Amino acid sequence: MAPVTLKKLVKSYGNVDVVHGIDLEVKDREFIALVGPSGCGKSTTLRMIAGLEDISGGVVEIGGKPVNDLPPRARNISMVFQSYALYPHMTVRENMGFSLKIGKVAQSDIDTRVNEAAAILDLDKLMDRRPSQLSGGQRQRVAMGRAIVRQPDVFLFDEPLSNLDAKLRTQVRTEIKRLHAKVQSTMIYVTHDQVEAMTLSDRIVIMRDGHIEQVGTPEEVFKRPATRFVAGFIGSPPMNLNDATVADGKLVFAGGQSLPLPIAFRGKVAAGDKVIFGLRPDDIYPTGHGLNSGEATDVHEMELPVSITEPLGNETLLFVTMAQREWVSRMLNPRPMEAGEMVKFSFDLSQAHLFSPETGKTLRS
Amino acid sequence: MDQNTSHRYKRRGLKLLHLVGLFLAMLIICLPGLWIVLSSLRPTVEIMAKPPVWIPQDLSLDAYRAMFGGAGQGGIPVWEYFRNSLIISITSTIIALTVGMAGGYAFARYKFKGKSGIFLGFMLTRAVPGIALSLPLFMIFARVGIIDTHFAMILIYVALNVPFTIWLIDGFFRQVPKDLAEAAQIDGCTRWQAFWQVEFPLAGPGIASAGIFAFLTSWNEYALASQITRSVNSKTLPVGLLDYTSEFTIDWRGMCALAVVMIIPALTLTFIIQKHLVSGLTFGAVKG
pLDDT digits (tens, 9 = 90+) for A219-247: 999 999 999 999 999 988 999 999 999 98
Does any CB of chain A come closer than 8 Å to the CB of residue B29? no
CA distance A150 to A97: 8
Set of chain B residues whose Cβ sits within 8 Å of the Cβ of A78: 186
Q: Is the pLDDT of residue B24 over 90?
A: yes
DSSP state at residue B215: H
Query: Which carries the bigger pLDDT value, residue A337 or residue B100?
Result: B100
Q: Is the pLDDT of residue B123 over 90?
A: no
CA distance A76 to chain B (A): 8
Query: Which carries the bigger pLDDT value, residue A269 or residue B58?
Result: A269
**In chain B, whose CA is at the least distance from the CA of A168?**
B288
Residue A341: count of CB within 10 angstroms of its CB: 14
The pLDDT value given to residue A171: 85
The pLDDT value given to residue A207: 95
CA distance A235 to chain B (A): 28
CA distance B172 to chain A (A): 15
The CATH superfamily assigned to A240-355 is Nucleic acid-binding proteins (2.40.50.140)
The pLDDT value given to residue B74: 57
HEC string for chain A: CCCEEEEEEEEEECCEEEEEEEEEEECCCCEEEEECCCCCCHHHHHHHHHCCCCCCEEEEEECCEECCCCCHHHCCEEEECCCCCCCCCCCHHHHHHHHHHHCCCCHHHHHHHHHHHHHHHCCHHHCCCCHHHCCHHHHHHHHHHHHHHCCCCEEEEECCCCCCCHHHHHHHHHHHHHHHHHHCCEEEEEECCHHHHHHHCCEEEEEECCEEEEEECHHHHHHCCCEHHHHHHCCCCCCEEEEEEEECCEEEECCCCEEECCHHHECCECCCCEEEEEECHHHEEECCCCCCCCCCCCEEEEEEEEEEEEECCCEEEEEEEECCEEEEEEEECCCCCCCCCEEEEEEEHHHCEEECCCCCEECCC
Q: Is the pLDDT of residue A365 over 50?
A: yes
CA distance B146 to B284: 51
- Determine the average pLDDT of the residues in B116-121: 91
- Determine the average pLDDT of the residues in A210-227: 94
The CATH superfamily assigned to A4-233 is P-loop containing nucleotide triphosphate hydrolases (3.40.50.300)
The CATH superfamily assigned to B78-274 is MetI-like (1.10.3720.10)
Set of chain B residues whose Cβ sits within 8 Å of the Cβ of A52: 182, 185-186
Of A52, A84, A88, the CB nearest to B283: A88
The pLDDT value given to residue B1: 63
Residue of B187, B199, B202 best to disrupt the A interface, most CBs of A under 10 A: B187
Beta-carbon separation of A73 and B189 below 8 A: yes
Residue B285: pLDDT band with limits 50, 70, 90: very low
The pLDDT value given to residue A72: 92
Residue B280: pLDDT band with limits 50, 70, 90: very low
The phi-psi region of residue B251 (left if phi > 0; otherwise alpha if psi is between -120 and 50; otherwise beta) is beta
Query: Which carries the bigger pLDDT value, residue A201 or residue B283?
Result: A201
Q: Is the pLDDT of residue A144 over 80?
A: yes
What ranges do the domains of chain A cover? 4-233, 240-355
Residue A172: pLDDT band with limits 50, 70, 90: confident
For the complex shown, is ipTM > 0.90? no
Residue A212: pLDDT band with limits 50, 70, 90: very high
Q: Is the pLDDT of residue A67 over 80?
A: yes
Residue B71: pLDDT band with limits 50, 70, 90: low
Q: Does A237 sit behind a cis peptide bond, omega within 30 degrees of 0 on the bond before it?
A: yes
The phi and psi torsions of A292 (rounded to 5 degrees) equal -125, 50
pLDDT digits (tens, 9 = 90+) for B196-243: 999 998 888 888 888 988 999 999 999 889 888 888 888 999 998 888
CA distance A332 to A291: 7
Q: Which burial class, exposed, middle or buried, applies to A118 when counting CB atoms under 10 A from its CB (0-12, 13-18, 19+)?
A: buried
In chain A, the percentage of residues whose pLDDT exceeds 70 is 98
CA distance B193 to chain A (A): 9
Secondary structure (3-state) at B223: helix
Does any CB of chain B come closer than 8 Å to the CB of residue A72? yes
CA distance B41 to B255: 11
Q: Which burial class, exposed, middle or buried, applies to A186 when counting CB atoms under 10 A from its CB (0-12, 13-18, 19+)?
A: buried
Of A89, A98, A137, the CB nearest to B202: A89
What ranges do the domains of chain B cover? 3-68, 78-274
Set of chain A residues whose Cβ sits within 8 Å of the Cβ of B191: 71
Query: Which carries the bigger pLDDT value, residue A177 or residue A290?
Result: A177
Query: Which carries the bigger pLDDT value, residue A244 or residue B245?
Result: A244
Does any CB of chain A come closer than 8 Å to the CB of residue B56? no
Residue B146: count of CB within 10 angstroms of its CB: 16
CB-based contacts of B242, cutoff 8 Å, min separation 6: B226
The pLDDT value given to residue B125: 85
Please provide the average confidence, as pLDDT, over all residues in chain A.
90
Residue type at A217?
T
Q: Is the pLDDT of residue B70 over 70?
A: no
pLDDT digits (tens, 9 = 90+) for B144-198: 999 999 999 999 999 999 998 999 899 889 988 899 999 999 999 999 999 999 9
Residue B61: pLDDT band with limits 50, 70, 90: confident
Of B177, B182, B201, the CB nearest to A89: B201
CA distance A265 to A263: 5
- Determine the average pLDDT of the residues in B10-27: 94
- Determine the average pLDDT of the residues in A73-100: 92
The pLDDT value given to residue A209: 92
Query: Which carries the bigger pLDDT value, residue B280 or residue A126?
Result: A126
pLDDT digits (tens, 9 = 90+) for A268-289: 888 889 999 999 999 999 988 8
Q: Is the pLDDT of residue A205 over 90?
A: yes
Give pTM, 2 decimals: 0.81
**Inter-chain CB pairs, A–B, below 8 Å:** 96
CB-based contacts of B270, cutoff 8 Å, min separation 6: B212, B216
The pLDDT value given to residue A337: 85
Set of chain A residues whose Cβ sits within 8 Å of the Cβ of B278: none
Residue B47: pLDDT band with limits 50, 70, 90: confident
Q: Is the pLDDT of residue B286 over 70?
A: no
Beta-carbon separation of B286 and A98 below 8 A: no
The pLDDT value given to residue B75: 65
Does any CB of chain B come closer than 8 Å to the CB of residue A71? yes
CA distance B195 to B203: 10
Does any CB of chain B come closer than 8 Å to the CB of residue A86? yes
Q: Is the pLDDT of residue B44 over 90?
A: no
Please provide the average confidence, as pLDDT, over all residues in chain B.
86
Q: Is the pLDDT of residue B73 over 60?
A: no
CA angle, B269 then B275 then B278, to 5°: 135
The pLDDT value given to residue A329: 94
Q: Is the pLDDT of residue A195 over 50?
A: yes
The pLDDT value given to residue B277: 62
CA distances from B187 to A30, B203, B212, B215 (A): 22, 20, 34, 37
Set of chain B residues whose Cβ sits within 8 Å of the Cβ of A132: 283-284
- The length of chain A in residues reads 365
CA distance B285 to chain A (A): 5
Across chain A, which distance is largest between two alpha carbons, in Å?
77
CA distance A23 to B248: 89
- Scan residues 237-276 of A and list those with Cβ closer than 8 Å to B: none
